[in-house]
Structure 1
Amino acid sequence: MTGLVTYGLRAFGLKAALVLAGLASAPAQAQQTDILALGDSLTQGYGLIEQEGFVPQLREWLAERGHDVRVVNAGVSGDTTAGGLSRVEWSLTPEIDAMIVALGGNDLLRGIAPEVARANLDGILQVAAERDLAVLLIGLTAPGNYGAAYKRDFDAMYPELAEEYDAVYLDDFFAGLRGPDGGMPDAARFMQPDGIHPDATGVARIVETVGPKVEELIERADTQAGSDGG
């Protein structure tokens, strides 16, 4: 009996050692990436039930592609770039690894000067840079009704700031609704009755375009985290 007990203990010890060795050699599980989506009603999901909004659809799109990502909805309906700047500091809680910035639509609707909007976006990107956070900056295209100079300056601020801060960049939040020639002849089919906010199908098309950029953002966030840790 004593021999059997001794054998059993040895066998148990061997199994435990093998289990521990297996755990030690197993690849580390990828950590969750926490992303703040700082935006306005387009980010918030205005006029849609929760699961149809931009952030929930983006979460689902990323999950389907194997990403362990938490996207925090920091979209506030009616917010301008000034509003985003005023709340970015406290919105960036310690666990946030990266940020999506999608602001400027309400600046356009109010005719706010491009240089003012640019200064606000610059301030938001400065905060992210100070915290060493990867950023995806999503632009918008101004209509022509404010004049050629306004359109030129507004459209230019996004790519110029993205280059200055080395941000991941998408030129237009509505890029997914554009046709092959860059026009939007059928965009009305994907909009709510107000003609400003996309419906659920429109959001899905937008996410298909934004999603790959967010994957690039995740990769950059992971790289920066590895550099900080190393």
Structure 2
Amino acid sequence: MGFFKYGARGSGCKAAIVGVFVTAVPVSAAEVSILALGDSLTQGYGLLEQDGFVPQLRNWLADHGHDVRVVNGGVSGDTTAGGFARVEWSLTPDIDAMIVTLGGNDVLRGIAPQEARSNIEGILKVAQAQNLEVLLIGMEAPGNFGADYKQAFDGLYPELAQTYGTVFLDSFFKGLDRQGQSLAELSAFMQDDGIHPNPEGVVKIVETVGPKVEELLYRLD
């Protein structure tokens, strides 16, 4: 899933459930644990483990002075419904906060925006019940489903973020902003499927997500 080729490449997302990855860093009393709940973008589809989103984010945070354990709760092919179905058992007692990055596969399948909204709201309600801070990362629908679909889908993220008081980033791909760049230049940061970022693309994505995670961490102080 991504902003390049929604729809046509949807079958490239494998529905295999991946094991939860925990960064190999000793847990200390001061360490914060964050669950990254998502799909293949979070899981690191098509990448060596160290090149994936979660390891790169953990390293970025460490480089910026934060002792953070990031749990990879990404399941390749997952939808917002899948995330909602597993969020409660994924939030083990040691988790202090959560990153939610879901919705790309809903778009690939043409799932109604109101259904995606209901599922993400369910996830946020679970976090709220457990007094957990959340970083909600949005997804953008393409135009091929029509303007109304795109407006409803894109709009659900900022609306829910405001309602539930989460930290918010409007797009997972914000770091690959198209402004002033050609399609060829952007393609240099994507895998051949045009859906998932390559290692260099993940670097740029993490550079944008990282400060938002810092904002999340400041709320825990």
Output the TM-score relative to the length of structure 2. Answer: 0.85
Please give the alpha-carbon distance, in whole angstroms, between the structure 1 residues aligned to 2:111 and 2:186. 25
Deviations 1:69-128 (A, max 9, x none): 000000000000000000000000001000000000000100000000000000000000
Residue aligned with 2:193, SS: coil
Relative to structure 1, is the Cα distance of residues 219 and 90 closer, same or farther in structure 2, using a 3 angstrom cutoff? Answer: same
Code of the residue aligned with 1:106 in structure 2: it is: N
1:168 and 2:174 equivalent? no
Please give the alpha-carbon distance, in whole angstroms, between the structure 2 residues aligned to 1:184 and 1:160. 31
Aligned counterpart, 1:140: 139
Q: CA deviation at 1:187?
A: 1.9
CA RMSD of aligned residues (A): 1.4
Aligned counterpart, 1:130: 129
Please give the alpha-carbon distance, in whole angstroms, between the structure 1 residues aligned to 2:219 and 2:142. 32
Q: CA deviation at 1:179?
A: 3.6
User: Number of aligned pairs?
Assistant: 193
Code of the residue aligned with 2:217 in structure 1: it is: I
Please give the alpha-carbon distance, in whole angstroms, between the structure 2 residues aligned to 1:39 and 1:104. 9
**After TM superposition, what 4+ stretches of structure 1 lie above 3 angstroms from structure 2?**
none
1:121 and 2:120 equivalent? yes
Please give the alpha-carbon distance, in whole angstroms, between the structure 1 residues aligned to 2:142 and 2:216. 28
Aligned counterpart, 1:59: 58
Please give the alpha-carbon distance, in whole angstroms, between the structure 2 residues aligned to 1:52 and 1:151. 31
Please give the alpha-carbon distance, in whole angstroms, between the structure 2 residues aligned to 1:187 and 1:35. 30
Aligned counterpart, 1:41: 40
Larger radius of gyration: 1
What runs of 5+ residues in structure 1 fail to find an aligned partner?
Answer: 1-28, 223-230
Output the TM-score relative to the length of structure 1. Answer: 0.82
Please give the alpha-carbon distance, in whole angstroms, between the structure 1 residues aligned to 2:36 and 2:218. 17
Q: CA deviation at 1:30?
A: 7.7
Q: CA deviation at 1:189?
A: 1.1
Code of the residue aligned with 2:164 in structure 1: it is: Y
What runs of 5+ residues in structure 2 fail to find an aligned partner?
Answer: 1-27
Please give the alpha-carbon distance, in whole angstroms, between the structure 2 residues aligned to 1:30 and 1:96. 13
Residue aligned with 1:196, SS: coil
Please give the alpha-carbon distance, in whole angstroms, between the structure 2 residues aligned to 1:154 and 1:221. 30
**Percent of paired sites with the same residue:** 68
Please give the alpha-carbon distance, in whole angstroms, between the structure 2 residues aligned to 1:96 and 1:215. 16
Relative to structure 1, is the Cα distance of residues 94 and 184 closer, same or farther in structure 2, using a 3 angstrom cutoff? Answer: farther
Task: Name which structure has the greater RCO, CA cutoff 8 Å, separation 6+.
Answer: 2
Residue aligned with 2:206, SS: helix
Residue aligned with 1:221, SS: coil
Greater percentage in helix? 1
Q: CA deviation at 1:184?
A: 6.8
Aligned counterpart, 2:213: 214
Q: CA deviation at 1:221?
A: 2.2
Asked if 2 retains the 8 angstrom alpha-carbon contact of 1:178 and 1:184, the reply is no
Please give the alpha-carbon distance, in whole angstroms, between the structure 1 residues aligned to 2:43 and 2:37. 9
